Structure 1
Amino acid sequence: MTGVTRLTVVTGGGRGIGAAVARRLAAEGHDLVLGYARDADAAEATADAARAAGATCRTFRADVSDPEEVDALFDAAAEWGQVTGLVNNAGATLHIGDLVDTPVDVVRRVIEVNLTGAVLVARRALRDMDRGAAIVNVSSAAATLGAPHEYVHYAAAKAGIDALTVGLAAEVAGRGIRVNAVAPGTVRTEIHAGAGDPGRADRLAAGVPLGRAGEPDEVAEAVAWLLGDACPFATGAVLRVAGGR
């Protein structure tokens, strides 16, 4: 879409991978709408960084599992112009442990945010997109590793993201819209602390073939590549960014 104003919605855009993606896309000339669930201060800090890089950026609070709030997010984006990109990133694990010990409300919420939310967001984004637009879903290496004794429920939801990516890519290819995914491995973000294990990235680093945890900026590079013009024939792909796992 060279020469076209890019307007990209990033869900979960305030922290972690979403924040890194926002900074990276701002540097490439995207205008941005950052969705966030709770941390308004973090979202505004990310927006300030995007603005410093030259982007027009606004934040919008929205629960991706609520279709009315998803509509409100995209209605707000439409006030600025045509949405050309989506980074479907909002996610959470919330708990670490065996599935049998995971509370039902946690299981439900994790699936609502990571899978149902992603489906609802993609569904609405496609209503607003035209030829040349692109979606990047954020999956996880857990989708194929299964995450036993940690969060099988989250892994199952992310496996759904892989299926969403493949199916939706085929469904909208005729409209000239690409749909891909990145599948990060162990990355240094707040998601570990949110699940009660802030040291998890360091604890698991030795098991990664590259010998370390990943950084959000490394995932952002993959997202930016898939969202941009460098790979116009790539759709339905799940790009693993997991250090060899």
Structure 2
Amino acid sequence: MNRVAVVTGGSRGIGRAVALRLAADGQAVVIAYAHASDAAEAVVAEIEGKGGQAVAVRADVADEAAVATLFDTAEQRFGGVDVVVHAAGVMVLAPVAELDLDALDRMHRTNVRGTFVVGREAARRVRRGGAIVNFSTSVTRLSLPTYAGYAASKAAVEAISPILAKELRGRDVTVNAVAPGPTATDLFLDGKDEATVERMAKMNPMERLGTPEDIAEVVSSLAGPARWVNGQTIYVNGGAA
């Protein structure tokens, strides 16, 4: 029986790389996207072009009805759900004194409520031997100025994940969070000048930005063979302190 993965935020950036990697690992992939339908369908076409199975579904991760439909689609098309990778997220950067509270609410809705909504559905439906992988950020440790709102929303993910892991006792389902460091995606690069990007690339001893594929490699392990890693936050940042 082939494994089936649901990947939120799977149309772009790290989510796209994760969807492609899991498909290469032999999993059927359900790609959830918020707005970028063309990008999501392009990922589906790339997976199918390589002999894999995929479908794209529009879903607001904070909307419980939409997320239920997302999981329904996975079960109807591919027979069930084994892996859930919740990579969808919103990032707005500003100092605490200047952060627009509407932007804070938007981050909270997607990053915190979305993790609860997706996690709740995953807890109900993921089959034995499955895995749930949420996304945090290394900024929860790096404490970079302007990242307070975003880091706070992702710190909630780090609190939720190990508790859900314990709540799934006896199910043989792992729950972990992945916390990338600075990674070369549109979300990260947007609005940053070359000097800022270079400075952040030098924060780790590897002296480069991460790539989406670096992150997808770790997710691939957590979604498959790494059965003894559970309730953890894995910092994937090249050694940035």
TM-score range, shorter chain: over 0.9
For residues 78-125 of structure 1, the C-alpha deviation after alignment (integer angstroms, 9 at most, x for no partner) is 2121101100110120x2220221101100101111111011101011
Q: 2:18 aligned with 1:21, yes or no?
A: yes
1:240 to 229, 235, 241: 235
For residues 126-179 of structure 1, the C-alpha deviation after alignment (integer angstroms, 9 at most, x for no partner) is 2112211111111110122233x2221110111111111111111103111111
**Pairing 1:198-213 to 2, within 5 Å after superposition:** 199=194, 201-213=197-209
1:183 to 179, 182, 185: 179
**TM-score scaled by structure 1?**
0.92
Name 2:108's counterpart in structure 1. 111
- 1:12, 1:37 within 8 Å by CA — same for their partners in 2? yes
Q: 2:11 aligned with 1:6, yes or no?
A: no
Q: 2:72 aligned with 1:62, yes or no?
A: no
- 2:189, 2:197 within 8 Å by CA — same for their partners in 1? no
- 1:87, 1:137 within 8 Å by CA — same for their partners in 2? yes
User: Structure 2: where are the runs of 5+ without partners?
Assistant: none
Name 1:171's counterpart in structure 2. 167
Q: 2:174 aligned with 1:156, yes or no?
A: no
Name 1:136's counterpart in structure 2. 133
Measured in 2, the distance between the counterparts of 1:203 and 1:186 equals: 11
Point out 4+ residue stretches in structure 1 off by more than 4 angstroms: none
Partner-residue secondary structure (3-state), 2:170: helix
Could you tell me which amino acid in structure 1 is paired with residue 139 of structure 2? A
For residues 35-64 of structure 1, the C-alpha deviation after alignment (integer angstroms, 9 at most, x for no partner) is 001111111111112212322100011111
Measured in 2, the distance between the counterparts of 1:8 and 1:72 equals: 15
Measured in 1, the distance between the counterparts of 2:127 and 2:157 equals: 22
**TM-score scaled by structure 2?**
0.94
Quick check: 59-68 or 7-16, which moved more?
A: 59-68
**Pairing 1:30-69 to 2, within 5 Å after superposition:** 30-69=27-66
- 1:192, 1:201 within 8 Å by CA — same for their partners in 2? no
Deviation, structure 1 residue 198: 6.7
Name 2:99's counterpart in structure 1. 102
Deviation, structure 1 residue 208: 2.4
Name 2:188's counterpart in structure 1. 192
Measured in 1, the distance between the counterparts of 2:7 and 2:123 equals: 14
Could you tell me which amino acid in structure 2 is paired with residue 159 of structure 1? A
The percentage of aligned residue pairs carrying the same residue is 39
Partner-residue secondary structure (3-state), 2:219: helix
User: Structure 1: where are the runs of 5+ without partners?
Assistant: none
Q: 1:146 to 1:116 in 2, by over 3 A?
A: farther
Measured in 2, the distance between the counterparts of 1:45 and 1:132 equals: 30
Measured in 2, the distance between the counterparts of 1:108 and 1:114 equals: 10
Q: 1:68 to 1:24 in 2, by over 3 A?
A: same
Measured in 2, the distance between the counterparts of 1:146 and 1:123 equals: 29
Measured in 2, the distance between the counterparts of 1:12 and 1:123 equals: 17
- 1:27, 1:54 within 8 Å by CA — same for their partners in 2? no
